[in-house]
Amino acid sequence: MIDRHNFTRLALLASDTERAIEAEAELRGLIDWVPIEDAEAVVVLGGDGFMLQTLHHMLDNERVIPAYGLNLGTVGFLMNKQRSRANFLARVNRSRSIAIAPLRMEAVTQDGAHHTFCAINEVSLLRETRQTAKMEVTVDDKVRIRELVCDGVLVATPAGSTAYNLSANGPILPLDSQLLALTPISAFRPRRWRGAILPDRSRITFRVLDSVKRPVSAVADQKELRDIAEVSLEIARESQLTLLFDPGHSLDERIVAEQFMV
């Protein structure tokens, strides 16, 4: 189903790559662009990394508007394909809205400091040294694994399930599945544990065991926090984001198609 938007005030943001800068120059003359603080939606030129950077900037500034991406990077999973620039505003207004909610990470470091970050794709906990990490895993106040021995572990949203999660042999989640992927990275014990698929209403907590000898860092998309003692994760429903996709080119379809690529 196609949404019928009526955007009249669009902002334009481009990454600093040569391709994105060239595309920005071409698009500048097509419509009257406005500053992002005055816009109803934003057009993002670049790759997935720049789209994530833009979405995080909106979350940090507490002003979230729909984002329409044009892929001028590599994978471009969160972006639309380049097509004719004719009737560009009409193309954006015919796009389909996809709502995604980020993960909220509440972390405590070894010095007792508290930190809060959001992740659109995933939160990963990774060993900092040659020593394997040891973590206790709790889901909704019930300890599920008393000692997970591994290189790391991650929790991915459906939007991020085809990124690092997929590389770690985690499951691909349909966008409307209301699920989270809990995926170990090179798990040693419990042996043969492949991870879990959890309802997205779950609260997941990792407590680092022997954290001085076996330090662990936490990475929420592009933000890293070192020397973690404990991390709790849950969906931040109040921080919902909206991505815009061309008809027939939605994130749902890309998630399905990714599972048949060989």
pLDDT digits (tens, 9 = 90+) for 177-208: 899 999 999 999 998 899 999 999 999 999 99
Active site residue 48: yes
| 204 alpha carbon, distance to own chain's centre | 17
In a domain, 157, yes or no: yes
Catalytic residue among 48, 60, 176, 246: 48
48 has binding-site annotation = yes
Indicate whether 113 and 227 sit together in one domain: yes
In a domain, 1, yes or no: no
Q: What pLDDT does residue 247 have?
A: 83
The answer to whether the CB of 214 falls within 8 A of the CB of 235 is no
Find the length of the chain.
262
Per-residue confidence of the chain (262 residues) as pLDDT tens digits?
Answer: 456 789 999 999 999 999 999 999 999 988 899 999 999 999 999 998 899 999 999 998 888 999 999 999 877 788 998 777 778 899 999 998 988 999 999 999 999 999 999 999 999 999 999 999 999 999 999 999 999 999 999 999 998 998 899 999 999 998 788 999 999 999 999 988 999 999 999 999 999 999 999 999 999 998 999 999 999 999 999 999 999 988 876 566 767 777 776 5
Which range of residues forms the domain containing residue 117? 103-238
Indicate whether 187 and 254 sit together in one domain: no
Indicate whether 95 and 133 sit together in one domain: no
The domain tally of the chain equals: 2
In a domain, 232, yes or no: yes
Indicate whether 38 and 123 sit together in one domain: no
122 has binding-site annotation = yes
- The DSSP code sequence of 98-116 is EEE-PEEEEEEETTS-EEE
The answer to whether the CB of 220 falls within 8 A of the CB of 81 is no
In a domain, 49, yes or no: yes
Indicate whether 55 and 25 sit together in one domain: yes
Q: What pLDDT does residue 98 have?
A: 87
Q: What pLDDT does residue 251 have?
A: 64
In a domain, 33, yes or no: yes
In a domain, 2, yes or no: no
Q: What pLDDT does residue 73 have?
A: 81
Q: Of 185, 181, 187, 119, whose CA–CA distance to 149 is shortest?
A: 187
- In whole angstroms, what is the distance from residue 67 CA to residue 51 CA? 8
Q: What pLDDT does residue 174 have?
A: 84
Cis-peptide, bond into residue 158, ω within 30° of zero: no
* H and E: helices and strands count for the chain: 5, 17
- In whole angstroms, what is the distance from residue 236 CA to residue 164 CA? 20
Q: What pLDDT does residue 67 have?
A: 97
In a domain, 5, yes or no: no
Q: Could you give the 3-state DSSP secondary structure of residue 48?
A: helix
Indicate whether 110 and 40 sit together in one domain: no
Q: Give the pair of three-digit tokens for residue 114.
A: 């508290």
Query: Residue type for 109, please?
Result: T
- In whole angstroms, what is the distance from residue 255 CA to residue 172 CA? 7
Indicate whether 116 and 198 sit together in one domain: yes
Indicate whether 108 and 232 sit together in one domain: yes
167 has binding-site annotation = yes
In a domain, 151, yes or no: yes
Indicate whether 118 and 76 sit together in one domain: no
CATH number where 222 lies? 2.60.200.30
121 has binding-site annotation = yes
> What is the pTM (predicted TM-score) of this model?
0.85
Indicate whether 96 and 110 sit together in one domain: no
32 has binding-site annotation = no
Query: Residue type for 143, please?
Result: V
Strands 133-139 and 179-185: unpaired
Indicate whether 142 and 39 sit together in one domain: no
